[in-house]
């Protein structure tokens, strides 16, 4: 029985002209999140969706089992500040992770900061936290309901007493203490009209860099950098390991390139009193330079300058001309140089990504010589903690079936060997029940694309298994193996296969791979993803009507574009917080920063790329007579100020109007709009469990999957 969808008003008079092409935008009224009409639309949609999700046959079992299995202890790597160690820990089902402190690694730990005390429902999250160099103070940024807006507070680290200092209007900010602990560098935005609580869509421009002195009002903060000619620039300060320099990285958009300025803090006779005398070491957007460490005036940077897979370079700021720059670790033939950290004064902790799997090594800082490999199973380094002045470091390993093993190593020992510091087991999940493999499949243009598969041991390839196919493909983000209890439940109790396709647009093989899936090449991402599904069918893992595809944010755009292009190739589509209106995304909040990946409709040539795949603009109009669409679940949230809800709402209205009115469309086309929730970061555990339950229950219901004990 086809569903009856809420009627949404169409304003056919709302027409925009793009370089002579007229485009109707009948649901533009949904761009106002506060109008009574938009609120009514959301309410009507939720009235249809929520009861449907709750009556899905596996909903209760999935929720119960997920809650049970999620209830395992989670730990971060400890990090050392002053003489003490700090780490995050969640006993299992706490909504937010708690920060603990201990005097030594075997001393008892006590609670240092507990975000759960800040709200009843866990919707106040710790977004950023920085301890001063010798552990005098803790600066911490809180966000509410998942918004990107942050309020920064301060407390004394010894007696945990709160300071009166408060910093508002902070967003996409650095937080860097000067080593004298007198204050912090941070970024904020000038006041804007209307509200700033994460439900607004106002564009974020003219970010400024300030220095806040402890014990003063924010109104007295010192403006140290602003870019009046360049409203879209963002900046971030890193204080050098020796405390002598402020290193300023300036970006515009999301491309991995930055300007590099610095200021010698020792050369300020009166301290920080106004705009700093920045020295412009690199004053263009040709490459990326990330500070690793410095020995006096010789600075070490990770860079993609003439190195799409990244290399390590030295720049002596007393001889800044490029002909004096030297290579410490050259670019690898195939692997991508990931993060690099300095430890034990003279060593570098170096990460490489080899076919989407992590390698961790120790190098010598002075020569760039490889000293040793560190033990690592097949998977991901999910965390590292070290500091140049300390000899010890920690690293955390994870994979699709390993929640977390933390290793500890002290390089001052005569024969330093990493030892397991902490290993977490999840009761009820046996690693040996699962098999993880990596396959390579050809895309449309012949490019070999890697894909991870996780399924039950001894799986028979008979073309009937349900598949959960996940992808992202953008912003140089690599999707490496990570632990997710809901995925393992899908495999174990719904008989499924998890497939993660490492499509182009990501950073899996460096800059070239990334650029092959951006701007005019964006269709490569969609081809790569569709060919992943084709491969799984061809290799007899599954059939088209058994494939559920999922992605979030840029991945929401991915699965919606693939749905429009190949509705026959999938059985279910779950698009979370997706970018759906490719002609207008740059007008809202921080959308302007994504034009480096997507292009912008204000440019005539780029408009031609965007209109070809924009999910909102490639949905059929009624009467629709093509093949029925798979089941669709769209997810968004009222406080998502990264990808604002209007993308999902307009796409939903258009989908239901065209496809939803076809008598042949029996599968549901629904949207789930969460409240007091944002783009994803800082989401309380209880909300995360419910959302995963809703998603997998919808998939099970629409693909016809039963619960297997």
Q: Which residues are catalytic?
A: 553, 640, 679
Take residue 587 and report the two structure tokens written for it: 């007008």
CB atoms within 10 A of CB 430: 11
Q: What angle do CA 278, 284, 285 make, to 5 degrees?
A: 120
What are the b/e assignments for 681-693, b being 16+ CB within 10 Å?
ebbbbbbbbbbbb
> Over 244-265, what HEC string results?
CEEEEEEEECCCCCCEEEEEEH
Distance CA 568, CA 588 (A): 33
Contacts of residue 476, Cβ cutoff 8 Å, sequence gap at least 6: 254, 256, 506, 507, 511, 514
Residues in a beta bridge with 439: 451
Distance CA 111, CA 99 (A): 6
DSSP state of 556: H
**Residue 530 φ then ψ, to 5°:** -65, -35
**Residue 532 φ then ψ, to 5°:** -65, -45
Cβ–Cβ under 8 Å, residues 47 and 41: no
CB atoms within 10 A of CB 15: 12
DSSP state of 55: T
Residues in a beta bridge with 379: none
Distance CA 175, CA 169 (A): 14
369 by DSSP, 3-state: which?
A: coil
Distance CA 600, CA 496 (A): 39
- Cis peptide, bond prior to residue 623, ω within 30 of zero: yes
Distance CA 496, CA 486 (A): 11
């Amino acid at each position: 029985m086809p569903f009856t969808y809420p009627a949404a008003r169409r304003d056919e008079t709302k027409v925009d002209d793009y370089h002579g092409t007229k485009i109707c935008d009948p649901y533009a009224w949904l761009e106002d999140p506060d109008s009574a009409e938009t609120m009514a639309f959301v309410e009507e949609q939720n009235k249809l969706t929520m009861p449907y999700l709750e009556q899905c046959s596996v909903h209760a079992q999935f929720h119960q089992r997920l809650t049970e299995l999620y209830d395992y202890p989670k730990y971060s790597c400890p990090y050392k500040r002053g003489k003490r160690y700090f780490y995050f820990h969640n006993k299992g089902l706490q909504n937010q992770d708690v920060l603990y402190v201990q005097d030594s690694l075997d001393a008892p730990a006590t609670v240092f900061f507990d975000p759960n005390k800040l709200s009843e429902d866990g919707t106040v999250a710790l977004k950023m936290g920085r301890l001063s160099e010798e552990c005098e103070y803790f600066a911490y940024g809180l966000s509410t309901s998942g918004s990107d807006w942050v309020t920064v507070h301060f407390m004394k680290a010894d007696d945990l007493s709160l300071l009166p200092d408060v910093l508002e209007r902070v967003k996409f900010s650095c937080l860097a203490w000067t080593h004298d602990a007198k204050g912090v560098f941070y970024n904020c935005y000038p006041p804007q009209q209307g509200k700033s609580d994460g439900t607004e869509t106002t564009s974020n421009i003219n970010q400024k860099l300030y220095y806040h002195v402890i014990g003063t009002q924010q109104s007295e903060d010192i403006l140290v950098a602003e870019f009046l000619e360049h409203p879209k620039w963002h900046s971030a300060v890193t204080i050098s390991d020796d405390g002598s320099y402020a290193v300023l990285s300036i970006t515009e958009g999301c491309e991995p390139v930055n300007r590099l300025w610095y200021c010698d803090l020792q050369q300020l006779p009166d301290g920080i009193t106004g705009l700093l005398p920045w020295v412009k070491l690199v004053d263009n957007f040709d490459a990326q330079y990330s500070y690793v460490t410095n020995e006096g005036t010789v600075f070490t940077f990770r860079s993609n300058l003439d190195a799409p897979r990244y290399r390590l370079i030295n720049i002596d700021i007393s001889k800044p001309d490029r002909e004096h720059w030297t290579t410490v670790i050259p670019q690898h033939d195939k692997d991508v140089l990931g993060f690099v950290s300095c430890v034990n004064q003279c060593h570098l902790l170096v990460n490489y990504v080899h076919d989407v799997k992590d390698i961790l090594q120790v190098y010598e800082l002075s020569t760039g010589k490889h000293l040793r490999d560190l033990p690592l199973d097949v998977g991901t380094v999910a965390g590292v903690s070290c500091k140049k002045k300390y000899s010890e470091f920690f690293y955390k390993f994870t994979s699709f079936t390993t929640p977390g093993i933390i290793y500890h190593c002290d390089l001052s020992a005569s024969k330093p060997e990493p030892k397991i510091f902490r290993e977490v087991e999840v009761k009820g999940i046996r690693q040996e029940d699962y098999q993880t493999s990596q396959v390579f499949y050809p895309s449309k243009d012949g490019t070999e694309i890697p894909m991870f598969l996780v399924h039950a041991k001894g799986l028979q390839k008979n073309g009937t298994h349900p598949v959960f196919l996940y992808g992202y493909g953008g912003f140089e983000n690599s999707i490496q193996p990570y632990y997710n209890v809901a995925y393992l439940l899908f495999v174990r109790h719904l008989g499924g296969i998890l497939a993660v396709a490492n499509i182009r647009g990501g950073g899996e093989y460096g800059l070239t791979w990334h650029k092959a899936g951006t701007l005019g090449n964006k269709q490569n991402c969609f081809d790569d993803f569709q060919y992943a599904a084709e491969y799984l069918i061809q290799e007899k893992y599954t059939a088209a009507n058994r494939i559920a595809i999922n992605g979030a944010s840029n991945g929401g755009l991915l699965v919606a574009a693939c749905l429009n292009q190949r509705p026959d190739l999938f059985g279910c589509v779950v698009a979370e917080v997706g970018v759906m209106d490719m002609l207008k995304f740059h007008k809202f909040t921080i959308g302007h920063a994504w034009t480096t990946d997507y292009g912008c409709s204000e440019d005539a040539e780029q408009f031609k790329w965007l209109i070809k795949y924009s999910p909102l603009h490639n949905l059929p109009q009624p009467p629709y007579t093509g093949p029925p669409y798979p089941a669709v679940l769209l997810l968004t949230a009222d406080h998502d100020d990264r990808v604002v809800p209007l993308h999902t709402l307009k796409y939903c209205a258009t989908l239901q109007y065209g496809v939803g009115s076809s008598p042949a469309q029996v599968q549901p086309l629904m949207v789930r709009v969460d409240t007091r929730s944002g783009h994803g970061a800082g989401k309380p555990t209880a909300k995360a469990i419910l959302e995963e339950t809703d998603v997998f229950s919808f998939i099970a219901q629409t693909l016809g999957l039963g619960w297997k004990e």
